[in-house]
Amino acid sequence: MIVARITTLALSLLICAFQVDGKLRRFPDGFSFGVATASYQIEGGWNASDKSESIWDTFTHNSNYKILDGSSGDVACDSYHLYKRDVEMVAELGVDFYRFSMSWSRLMPDGYELSKDGVKYYNDLINELLKHKIQPVVTLFHWDLPQWLQQLGGWSNSLTAKHFQRYARSAFELFGDRVKMWLTVNEPQVFCLHGYGKGLKAPGLDMNGFAEYLCGHTMLKAHAKVYHLYDQVFKKKQKGRVGLTLNASWQQASSNSSNDREAAQRVLEFELGWFANPIFSKCGDYPKIMKDRILWKSQEQGYTESRLPIFTKEELEEIKGSYDFFGLNHYTTRMVKEKSNKSVASKPSFSNDVEVDDYFESDWKESASVWLRVVPWGFQKLLNWIKDSYDNPEVIIFENGFSDREGIDDVDRVQYYRDYLNYLLDAIDDGCNVSAYTAWSLMDNFEWNKGYSERFGLYYVDYNSTIKKRTPKASAHYFKNIVKTKSIEKI
């Protein structure tokens, strides 16, 4: 009891320490806040009831693939059983919405028939959220593809778009009376590159320079089909919105030379433009630089056609404009310079297609993740780049957050949120049309290849306790205060 009181006192002092003397900046009227998770990372219940295996079940159960701590999402945060506690936490934070994903193989184990228990689970979760006046935001695909679909080629098989449409239709029919915001896919670039190109994530395919482009091609078509399905069949009655969320780091040119600036621009086009250009640009299609380079390299490598597939005219039209908002996941920044010794690699790869040198500045603060350094000003630059490249769309931040290996006194995460949110407000001052912000993540969870070794949560999860005890960290108190006051101290 005494210990608990001391800890609470310490936490409030810590939060106050970030607020002394600070001039407050307000978020615009109507700006909303949320927190996010994803099915495989929190649910557990991997074989509950009639759920079929997903590619992440297969991947983590196969010892050829490496999860740093040898773990899996078999139990994770056990949200399959503890969802009421999750909703309670979301309510404690006072946020407007909760972004979670549906597990395709839980809802539709064989891709055709619905699972009674799967439907019940998501109905219960949604109803519990609404009971607390929290809006559900649903991601249909956050990386856990049914394994049987993978056996048919997964996202490299264009027919997967049809299956995805069937699954999405069911989700709209079942839950669309209560869910008003849908994300078709989460971070297609990371999923395709790591899962089909580099073999680092499920399904573990190592077909660099080929399969990631096939995967992305199908996903773009699948996204557009689902967008139009909703638009034509459900929107009038359900009045919801559909989009997707794309990952992007800011790429900072290491010098003012035109070579380095072009190199940084090239990475932005290959990372974000790959998916954003076909959907959000006026002309549609992949960025020109991507099409030109991959064709040229493919020819040099002796292929008769480009390794980057080509859309038909109809497909281009279907994809272009298939959005109600621009979803963005952002964490960090990299320095980029033109590669010193450029060459066409005999073995194709995505990184040889982009071909730059990149690095972090040594004084950028580290996190627990090798890829994540704290560079808050990059957020403002990226948002401005999106404004200028895609005609200032409405942007919704669906992920932003920091990893550590700490307990509940997560000072660095508090600082990360304070600084990133300040630069987000600067971007709004610049005229960027950002309407909402989502913190990743509600609680610590299964961090893909890093297992449970990296923590991103506002709530600490004690994985050793049978009830997967969740405890608010300092950052949870801090975030709650931002949400409540709709303001933050100026840095």
Choose, by CB under 6 A, the member of 11, 35, 38, 192 that binds ligand GAL.
38
Contacts with ligand GAL in 324-383 (CB under 6 A)? Answer: 329
Nearer to ligand GAL, 319 or 439 (CB): 439
Nearer to ligand GAL, 214 or 439 (CB): 439
State yes or no: is 317 an active-site residue.
Answer: no
Q: Which of 43, 128, 399, 447 is catalytic?
A: 399
Nearer to ligand GAL, 11 or 382 (CB): 382
Nearer to ligand GAL, 186 or 306 (CB): 186
Nearer to ligand GAL, 175 or 448 (CB): 448
Give the whole-angstrom CA distance, residue 295 versus residue 348. 12
SS3 letters across the chain: CHHHHHHHHHHHHHHHHCCCCCCEEECCCCCEEEEECCHHHHCCCCCCCCCCCEHHHHHHHCCCCCCCCCCCCCCCCCHHHHHHHHHHHHHHHCCCEEEEECCHHHHCCCCCCCCHHHHHHHHHHHHHHHHCCCEEEEEEECCCCEHHHHHCCHHHCCCHHHHHHHHHHHHHHHHCCCCCEEEEEECHHHHHHHHHHCCCCCCCCCCCCCHHHHHHHHHHHHHHHHHHHHHHHHHHHHCCEEEEEEECCEEEECCCCHHHHHHHHHHHHHHHHHHHHHHHCCCCCCCHHHHHHHHHHHHHCCCCCCCCCCCCHHHHHHHCCCCCCEEEECCCEEEEEECCCCCCCCCCCHHHHHCEEEECCCCCEECCCCCCEECCHHHHHHHHHHHHHCCCCCEEEEECCCCECCCCCCHHHHHHHHHHHHHHHHHHHCCCCEEEEEEECCECCCCHHHCCCCECCCEEECCCCCCCCEEECHHHHHHHHHHHHCEEECC
Q: From residue 185 to residue 224, what is the string marking binding to ligand GAL with x (rule CB under 6 A)? A: -xx--x----------------------------------
Q: Which stretch binds ligand GAL (CB under 6 A): 120-128, 183-191, 305-313, 475-483?
A: 183-191
Nearer to ligand GAL, 235 or 455 (CB): 455
Minimum distance between the CB of residue 25 and ligand GAL, rounded to whole angstroms?
A: 26
Minimum distance between the CB of residue 442 and ligand GAL, rounded to whole angstroms?
A: 12
Q: From residue 270 to residue 309, what is the string marking binding to ligand GAL with x (rule CB under 6 A)? A: ----------------------------------------
Q: From residue 399 to residue 428, what is the string marking binding to ligand GAL with x (rule CB under 6 A)? A: x-----------------------------
Minimum distance between the CB of residue 38 and ligand GAL, rounded to whole angstroms?
A: 5
Nearer to ligand GAL, 448 or 459 (CB): 448
Minimum distance between the CB of residue 302 and ligand GAL, rounded to whole angstroms?
A: 35
State yes or no: is 212 an active-site residue.
Answer: no
Minimum distance between the CB of residue 472 and ligand GAL, rounded to whole angstroms?
A: 20
Q: End-to-end distance of the chain based on CA atoms, in angstroms?
A: 35
Q: How many residues bind ligand GAL (CB under 6 A)?
A: 12
Minimum distance between the CB of residue 194 and ligand GAL, rounded to whole angstroms?
A: 9
Minimum distance between the CB of residue 245 and ligand GAL, rounded to whole angstroms?
A: 8
Q: Which of 43, 53, 187, 338 is catalytic?
A: 187
Contacts with ligand GAL in 434-463 (CB under 6 A)? Answer: 440, 447-448, 456
Q: Which residues pair with 182 in a beta bridge?
A: 138, 242
Q: Is 42 in the site for ligand GAL (CB under 6 A)?
A: no
Could you check whether the bond before residue 441 is cis, i.e. omega within 30 degrees of 0? yes
Q: Is 247 in the site for ligand GAL (CB under 6 A)?
A: yes
Q: Which residues are catalytic?
A: 187, 399
Q: Give the residues lining the site for ligand GAL (CB under 6 A).
A: 38, 41, 186-187, 190, 247, 329, 399, 440, 447-448, 456
